[in-house]
Amino acid sequence: MTNEFARHRRLRQSANMRALVRETVLSVNDFIYPLFVAEGESVRNEVSSMPGVFQLSIDNLKAEFDEIVNLGIKSVILFGLPIEKDDVGTGAYHNHGIVQQATRYIKEQYPDLLVIADTCLCEYTDHGHCGIVESGNVLNDPSLDLLVKTAVSQAEAGADIIAPSNMMDGFVTAIRQGLDAAGYAHIPIMSYAVKYSSAFYGPFREAADSTPQFGDRKTYQMDPANRREAMREAAADIEQGADFLIVKPALSYLDIIRDVRNEFDAPVVAYNVSGEYAMVKAAALNGWVDEKAIVLEKLTSMKRAGADLIMTYHAKDAARWLSEQ
């Protein structure tokens, strides 16, 4: 009788037994914490659709970064909020752009912390698109020049990793060549290789004030219905020299994370985006879900799907919870 079926429960009978056979383990080393840095002074605005996430000016970064470093978080990704925008996104590549200034400040104060710069134009253009616009079209090749300028200025300011999120074709090649020519051959590119045109970015666009003023991003970001196309995007970026591959969003795209992991050897990054954060936060604040349990389960699922790293607004909470376990 006892040999007629498998006894799976043998390995589940105690907390220590379960720990012994656990396949996926989260660590604070896995997390990249996204931050919104704002031009100006004394800015500390909570993003209404992202409770716990703030737009911060540089004079308010100290408390935030002391906390981040104390929690053991080792990398952050920066998004900028300029005071002025224009049609070519000058604030993205200006020497005194907000991300460049914040990067200099952070690297001075916390030299070991890895600063990842998001390389895109949408937070800096008055039309809110990720490239140059002409007659209602987002132009590919002319946008590349501005993205290269942005990446080089971010590296000059001290960014450790360049993370282009704009979804123009050829951006990895262009940025790689630009960085190399400027003396930054050692700076890795973390490419948003597989980035879907997703409603899950809604709260981010409030946080980063980057909603397109006309149309949408469907001519450059991917169709959520497509799986094979993700392989073509990722393969192209690897060929062009990407050092990391980002899949974004994460939760509704775990199949894509697994496909990318199976096909490529580069580190895979899951971007647990703003809408995914907002849904959990809203439910937690209503007392409908157990926030800690649900966040750790969801982050574990991203690693189990194949992600090596996770960009997540939950990073500080998750780091705290992991240290308490």
Please give the residue ranges that form the binding site for ligand PBG (CB under 6 A).
118, 120, 122, 130, 165, 201, 204-205, 210, 217, 273-274
Q: How far is the CB of 14 from ligand PBG (least distance, A)?
A: 38
Q: Which residue is nearest to ligand PBG (CB)?
A: 204
Report the nearest approach of ligand PBG to the CB of residue 229 (Å). 17
Cβ distance to ligand PBG smaller for residue 33 or 201: 201
Q: Which is nearer to ligand PBG, 117 or 130 (CB)?
A: 130
Q: Is 81 within 8 Å of 39 (Cβ atoms)? A: yes
* Least Cβ distance, residue 171 to ligand PBG (angstroms): 12
Give the nearer residue to ligand PBG in terms of CB position, either 14 or 311: 311
Q: Nearest 5°: phi and psi at 299?
A: -65, -40
Task: Select 217 or 298, whichever has its Cβ closest to ligand PBG.
Answer: 217
* Residue 98, φ and ψ in degrees, nearest 5: -65, -40
Give me the least distance between CB of 313 and ligand PBG, in Å please.
7
Name the residue nearer to ligand PBG (CB basis): 261 or 314. 314
Query: Any idea of the CA torsion for 88, 94, 99, 104, to the nearest 10 degrees?
Result: 170
To ligand PBG, the closest distance from the beta carbon of 93 in angstroms equals: 15
Tell me, letter by letter, the H, E, C secondary structure of the chain.
CCCCCCCHHHHHCCHHHHHHCCCCCCCHHHEEEEEEEECCCCCEEECCCCCCCEEEEHHHHHHHHHHHHHCCCCEEEEEEECCCCECCCHHHHCCCCHHHHHHHHHHHHCCCCEEEEEECCCCCECCCCCCEEECCEEECHHHHHHHHHHHHHHHHCCCCEEEECCCCCCHHHHHHHHHHHCCCCCCCEEEEEEEECCHHHHHHHHHCCCCCCCCCCCCCCECCCCCHHHHHHHHHHHHCCCCEEEEECCHHHHHHHHHHHHHCCCCEEEEECHHHHHHHHHHHHCCCCCHHHHHHHHHHHHHHHCCCEEEECCHHHHHHHHHHC
240, 172 contact by CB (below 8 A): yes
Residues with a known catalytic role:
195, 248
Q: Shortest gap between Cβ of 120 and ligand PBG (angstroms)?
A: 4
Nearer to ligand PBG, 10 or 171 (CB): 171
